[in-house]
Amino acid sequence: MKILAVCSSLDLRFPYSSTPAWWQLFKGLYEMGVEVIVIPYQGASIESLWWKAYPNPCQREGALFAAGREAVRKLYSFAKKEDSHKEKIKDSFADKTVRTLAKTFIRPRWKRYLDNIIRKENDIDAVIVFTVPLNHFQGLPTHIKKKYQIPVFYYDGDVPESLPQFKGFRSGFRIYQGADLTEYDGFISNSGGGVPELEKMGAKNVKVLYYGVDPLVFAPLKVKQDIDIFFYGHGYEYRKEWIDKMIRIPSKELNHYRFAIRATGFDIDLGNTERLPYASLSRLRVYSCKSKINLNITRKAHASVYASSSSRPFELASMGCCVVSNPYLGLEEWFEPKKEILVIKDSQEAIEIYKWLLSNDRERKKIGQKARERVLKEHTYQHRSKELIKIIKAMC
């Protein structure tokens, strides 16, 4: 099988949480015998041992869009809207402007570019668009299907954050406004609970493909554990309540323990919590393995819409970490609470669980070991790649 993948980004320097997942998934597909050709929509093109890469045809324009997105994001006062995650959908001037620019400048260039690549490669079996704004690509799936008889799929890895009833994933722009979901032969979601909404909007053949992990990349390290409680992530928006309950409040009461975070966009009170250097993605594994307890603090939308997967639980479990999580609807789809992961209901329970785990090395390590065993059994990107291949074959 030969797949042409248009993905949101390949550049790990961009703070897009899905980019490491694309690397691992494409590697998993390669290991399953799939030939993968990748074009990034944002940032530079990066070749690897596991895929062939073509340059981004609109890298300069993409940089301008990224700058615009960041400017719009800063205009939104997310912290003041923690209690109103859903809002009345409005087609703002910014939304209309971005769609007009995409239609006028971006889409025609991508159309010509995809034509050239498909003709050059000649034997592509399927095209998959990975979390690129649907309304920027409007019309392209129909063009590809009619001209080349190649099925086109869309994988939204940001459900439910990306859905119209939410504000968008850390940005003011919406990817579904003006898009036609019926253009795609199949739709793939990282969220089980998001499927009905996608179907309501016209998506056909909606399937679920959860995030996973490459256990060779996120593997345990034998290092001294000198951090007691640790969290990593991008931005506090829509999870500040649980950051307070799991980090700020406990760190003040348990001030003899070392709390630490490795994060961006956390300009808030974190109590007695140490801010570690952001460093590289590879350094993240060191931080996590040096920590006795790792925290999974999931955003409100993902935590409240059933089985909306994110990478963090799988990454931490794969490293054999003992994970404590905020309430996360559908978490039991991937890990068994109390055995492979611990879930707390408030700050007082968090404090009690932290104290118990930090005084019980054997139980803490046992939880991490069980979590990694579950990953190896069910949640690697080889598992996910097999599922994706099955989805594609069923619809081709």
CA 337 to CA 324: how far, in whole Å? 10
Beta-bridged to residue 38, according to DSSP, are 5, 53
pLDDT of residue 171: 47
Residues 62 and 150 in one domain: yes
Which residues, including other chains, have CB under 8 Å from residue 181's CB and lie 6 or more apart? 134, 154, 187, 198, 201, 202, 203, 204
Residues 206 and 233 in one domain: no
pLDDT string in tens for the chain (396-residue length)? 999 999 999 998 876 679 999 999 999 999 999 999 999 999 999 999 999 999 999 877 666 666 655 555 555 444 444 444 444 455 554 555 565 666 666 889 999 999 999 999 999 999 999 999 999 899 999 999 999 999 999 999 999 999 998 865 444 557 898 899 999 999 999 999 999 999 999 999 999 999 999 999 999 999 999 999 999 988 888 899 999 999 999 999 999 999 999 988 889 999 999 999 987 788 899 999 999 999 999 999 999 999 999 999 999 999 999 999 999 999 999 999 999 999 999 999 999 999 999 999 999 999 999 999 999 999 999 999 999 999 999 987
> What strands, in cross-sheet order, belong to the sheet with 186-189?
52-53, 35-42, 2-9, 126-130, 152-156, 186-189, 206-208
Q: What is the DSSP letter of 102?
A: I
Same domain membership, residue 294 and residue 166: no
Tell whether 187 and 243 lie within a shared domain. Answer: no
CB 316 within 8 A of CB 342: no
> Residue 60 class from Cβ within 10 Å (0-12 exposed, 13-18 middle, 19+ buried)?
exposed
Q: Is residue 274 part of a domain?
A: yes
* Distance, CA of 36 to CA of 27 (rounded, Å): 9
Q: What is the CATH number of the domain that holds 7?
A: 3.40.50.2000
Is 29 a member of any domain? yes
Instruction: Please give the Cα distance from 26 to 385 (Å, whole number).
Output: 8
> What is residue 97's predicted lDDT score, i.e. its pLDDT?
57
Q: Are residues 7 and 45 located together in one domain of the fold? A: yes
Cα-trace Rg, the chain = 21
Write out the two tokens for 316.
């931490």
Any bridge partners for residue 259, and if so which?
229, 273
Are residues 197 and 254 located together in one domain of the fold?
A: no
Tell me, yes or no, whether 28 and 152 share the same domain.
yes
Whether residues 165 and 241 share a domain: the answer is no
Q: Tell me the pTM.
A: 0.91
In the chain, what are the helix, strand and coil shares in percent, each to the nearest 5?
A: 40, 20, 40
Q: Is 12 left (phi over 0), alpha (psi -120 to 50) or beta?
A: alpha
Residue 217 falls inside a structural domain: no
What is the DSSP track for 312-354? HHHHHHHTT--EEE---TTGGGTS-BTTTBEE-SSHHHHHHHH
Looking at the structure, tell me whether residues 169 and 246 fall in a common domain.
no
Count CA atoms within 13 Å of residue 198 on its CB side.
30
318 and 385 co-located in one domain: no
Position 282 in a domain: yes
Question: How many domains, the chain?
Answer: 2
181 shares a domain with 297 = no
Q: Which residue has the tokens 């599922």?
A: 387
Q: Which residue range(s) make up the domain with 85?
A: 2-212+381-395
- Rounded to whole angstroms, the Cα distance separating 230 from 245 reads 14
